[in-house]
Every structure is written in C-alpha cells, then in structure tokens.
Amino acid sequence: MNRHPFALAAVLTALVLVQACGGDTASETAAGAAAPVSAAVAFDPATRLEVGVRTIADLKPVAGRFTTADEAVARARTGGTLVRLLVDEGSVVAAGQLIAVIDEPRMAAEIAAREAGASAAQAATGIGSAGVQAARAEVERARALAAQAPAALEQARAGQARAQADYDRTRQLFEQGVYAQARLDQMQAARRVADAQVSAAEAAVTAARQGVAAAEAQTRVAAAQARSAEAQASAARAQTGIAVALRAEGRIAAPRAGRVTAVPYPQGSVVMPGEAVAVIAGGAPVLKLMVPEADARALRVGQRLSLTDEAGAVTGQAAILKIYPAVTAGQVEIDLATDGVAERFVGARTTVLLPVGTRTGILVPGAYVRNRAGADYARLLRGGVVMEVPVQLGARRPDGVEVLTGLVAGDVIVAWPQAVAGQP
C-alpha cells in the first residue's frame, strides 16, 4: 500500500533516535545535528565523563613583559665624542667594567694649558719665597745697624762732652789772658764738630730704626706676594685637577653586573651630559604587569597566575612578588616570579590570566573536544551510541576548555582516541 517504503523506514529511524535522546531541548538539537557513530565503536569506559555545571574563575588575559629585577642606565657625565664603545646589545658585563670612553682633543689641550699655568705659578711661588728670604736678610742687616747706632751715638755724645769741657776751660783761660783768641776759636770749632757728630749719630740711630721698619715692611710685602703666588699655584693645580677629573669622567663604567639590553648611540656619536650610553639589565628575571586598579584590588602577594602563549596554551605559572602601592594612569604595577619559564629576550611579552571574578559554566578537559575542519566536536554517549556533537568553545583555560553551547549538565561524553595532550 505504501509507495515509498524507503522514506517510511527513514522516518521510523529518526523517531527512534529522538526517543533515545531524552527530553532535553538543547541535547535534542545537538543530537539532531550530530553524526551518529556505530555502537560497535569501542571506547575506554574510564574516559567517560559526566558533564556538570561548576563555578569557574573568570580569567582576564593581561599582557606581561619579561624584564629583570634591576635595570641600570650608564649615562654620560660629560659631553663629547664617543671615541670608544666596548659593548654591544647582549654583552655580559661586570660591575665597574669599562664600557665606553668619551673624549675631545680640546680636553687634552686644556689640560696641557692648565698644567703650564700651574708650572708658571709654582715658579712664581719660588721667586716669592726667595724674595721673602732676601727681605728677612735685609731685616737682620738693618737690625744689626740699628744695634750699632746707639753705641756710636753715645761715643759722639762723649766726644761732645769732652769738646764742651775743653772749650769751657780754654775760654776761662782766655779770659785770664793765658790763651790767645786763636786757641779759643780752635776749641770752639772742635765743639761744633762734636755737636755735628752727635747730630749725625742721632740721625743714624733714627735712620737705622727706620731701616728696620722698612725692612720688616718689605718682608711682610714679600711674604704676602709669596702667599699670593702659592695661592695662584694652588688654584692652577686645582684647575688642572678639575680638567683631569672632567676628562676622567668620560670613562664610563658599568653601574652593575648584568646584560646590556640597549646601546642607543654608535661609536663616533656626539653625546651630551646625562644621555644614556648603555642600558644594563641585572638581577633575577621578573615578569611585569600593568593591571587596572579595579582588578588589582583582589590580588595578593604570593598568589599564583597562569601564563599562556599566543594559541592560548598554558606555558607555566608565576607567583606575585610585589604589588606597587601607587596608581599611575589607573594602572597598578605588579612583579611576578616565573616558575622555570625562561625568556632570553628582555622585554618579550606573554599573556597572564588574571582572575577577576567567578561564574558558573561547563568545563571539560581538552582531551574531550577536537577541532576538525574549523569546527569543534565532542563525543556524546547516548543509549550506548557515541555521536560527534558540534560544540562552541569559550576561552582556553589552564584547567580545561569551557563549553558554551552543545552540552548540558548530565550529558555523558567520552575522550577522543589518541588525543594529543593540550590539543582541543
């Protein structure tokens, strides 16, 4: 009676499948779109997994940057030409190692000029010292003369007294008529000579005293000149030392041990004071994050976070070392210590999964889903029949794969055979 027996058989088969799928609307939709696999296909019962809704952490991917605990910058202390550059990017240096030399021909000429000035000032100091010695000798001579002058004055005064006594006696005898006028005139002339000798002796004493004072004044002048010359020599030596120290500041040493990560200027460049010549990274490796202030409030020192690569696969773990207590442009800086994750490029980036809350969802191990031809599938077990059910996956997570649609709580799935670990 039925003209289409094959069509009727297909309808009956579909009805049987619908009854086997239960009453869940989402599962019926997935089963209707699934490609059933023969029940004869064997699977490991140990891989059976009942799907359930669980509380999962809401993870936010944040970009982190590999760096080091310390980063030092070797800067130029003086301006000039970078005549020698002894390091390059990637060079390993020790603390205090010479890494660059800044110099200029004018520096050598300036040092030579200042050294010549210092030598001239030192020569002037010698001349000043000789002048002081000569002035002191003149003082001694003047004092010797001054010491002799009083004796000469006393002798002159004694002669004056004798001449006065001779004159008085001769005058008395002249008045008595014993001596003639010529004798009296002779005594008077002798008295005048004695008076002149006394005056000369007194003048000599005064001159000797003035000579001592002048010699002492000359000594003070010579000493002042010597001190001035010594001060000029000291200033010239200091200027020379400044020039030498300024040139020595062109020798740039590594401020700490580590690896050179940047050399901004090539050899031969002209650099100004304060410009960076090399950047040196040292200390323990650190993963640095800039986290929004609102997300950083829930983080704690010691908390462990997962690292992922560009494909979303987990590459390692990191623990929070330090949370900086300052907010910059709404961001909080955080340092993490990685567990065995080595990165040879300073500044390389990786993704850190940051927990920002919790929600409910379905989470299954990666071995229970597989991507084929651009679509993701899970193996659904219904009534002893294994079916490939298309599913929509969410973000990849360290503890599994989140299933957004295609599976509901209570579904039983089995692992794919020969699944590659970590491959969805």
Q: Could you report the per-residue pLDDT of 106-153, keeping only the tens digit for each?
A: 777 777 777 787 787 778 777 877 877 887 787 788 778 777 778 887
Domain 19-68+278-414 shares a fold with domain 73-104+251-277: no
Residues in contact with 292: Cβ distance below 8 Å, sequence separation at least 6, in sequence order: 330, 331, 332
Q: Is 343 helix (H, G, I), strand (E, B) or coil?
A: coil
Q: Which residue has the higher pLDDT, 203 or 272?
A: 272
d(CA 139, CA 216): 6
Fold of 107-248: Helix Hairpins (1.10.287)
* Contact between 65 and 71 (Cβ < 8 Å): no
Fold of 73-104+251-277: OB fold (Dihydrolipoamide Acetyltransferase, E2P) (2.40.50)
Domain boundaries, the chain: 19-68+278-414, 73-104+251-277, 107-248
* Contact between 68 and 283 (Cβ < 8 Å): yes
* CATH pick for 19-68+278-414 out of 3.20.20.10, 2.40.30.170, 3.40.50.150, 3.40.50.11540: 2.40.30.170
Residue 420 has pLDDT above 60, yes or no: no
Residue 87 has pLDDT above 90, yes or no: yes
Residues facing residue 258 across a β-bridge? 93
Tokens 């490939």 map to which residue? 388
pLDDT-derived band at 374 (thresholds 50, 70, 90) equals confident
Residues in contact with 10: Cβ distance below 8 Å, sequence separation at least 6, in sequence order: none
Mean pLDDT, rounded, for 326-346: 80
Q: Which helix (H) or strand (E) holds 172?
A: helix 105-175
Q: Which residue has the higher pLDDT, 234 or 5?
A: 234
Q: Which helix (H) or strand (E) holds 181?
A: helix 181-248
What pLDDT score does 30 carry? 41
Mean pLDDT, rounded, for 408-423: 73
Residue 10 has pLDDT above 60, yes or no: no
* Contact between 398 and 89 (Cβ < 8 Å): no
pLDDT digits (tens, 9 = 90+) for 46-82: 788 888 888 888 888 898 988 887 888 999 988 888 9
Q: Report the percent of the chain where pLDDT is more than 90.
A: 16
Per the prediction, the chain carries an average pLDDT of 79
pTM score of the predicted model: 0.48
